[in-house]
Amino acid sequence: MEKQKIIISLREHAPTLRRLGLKSLALFGSFARGDAGQDSDIDLLYEFEEGQATLDHYLELQDLLERLFRRKVELVPRKYVSAGFQRYIADDVEPVYPAEGG
C-alpha cells in the first residue's frame, strides 16, 4: 500500500470521519515517508472536535481504519504530542482530513 492510496481512501471516508467528530487527521511515519515495510503500521495524528472525543468515537475510528487498511493503525492524539516529537516528525506529516479546500 502506498501513501496516495491511504490518503485517497481516508478522504473517501470523510462523511464517516465527520460523523465521528474528527477535526483533523494527518499521516506520518513510514507510510508518509514512503519507506513502509510489509509489517509497518499506519501512523495517524488525530484531533476530535470539542466535545466529540468520546471512547466510542475513538474505538469506532480505530476499528474503521484497521478494517479499511487491513493492518495495525497507530492513532496518536495531536494534543498530547510533545514539542520534541513534533519536530522529529515535522517533515513527514501529511494532512489528510479535512482535505485542503474542504
CB 14 within 8 A of CB 3: no
**Alpha-carbon span 67 to 73, nearest angstrom:** 10
With b for 16 or more beta-carbon neighbours within 10 A and e for fewer, the 30-57 pattern comes to ebbeeebeeeeebbbbbbbeeeebeeeb
What are the structural domains, with CATH classification, of the chain? 3-97 (3.30.460.10)
The more confident residue out of 43 and 100 is: 43
* pTM (whole model) above 0.75: yes
- Say how far apart CA 74 and CA 11 lie, in whole Å: 18
Task: For 9-66, write each residue's pLDDT tens digit.
Answer: 999 999 999 999 999 999 999 999 999 999 999 999 999 999 999 999 999 999 999 9
| Per-residue model confidence (pLDDT) at position 21 | 96
pLDDT of residue 87 exceeding 60, the answer is: yes
- Cα 56 to Cα 59: distance, rounded to the nearest angstrom: 5
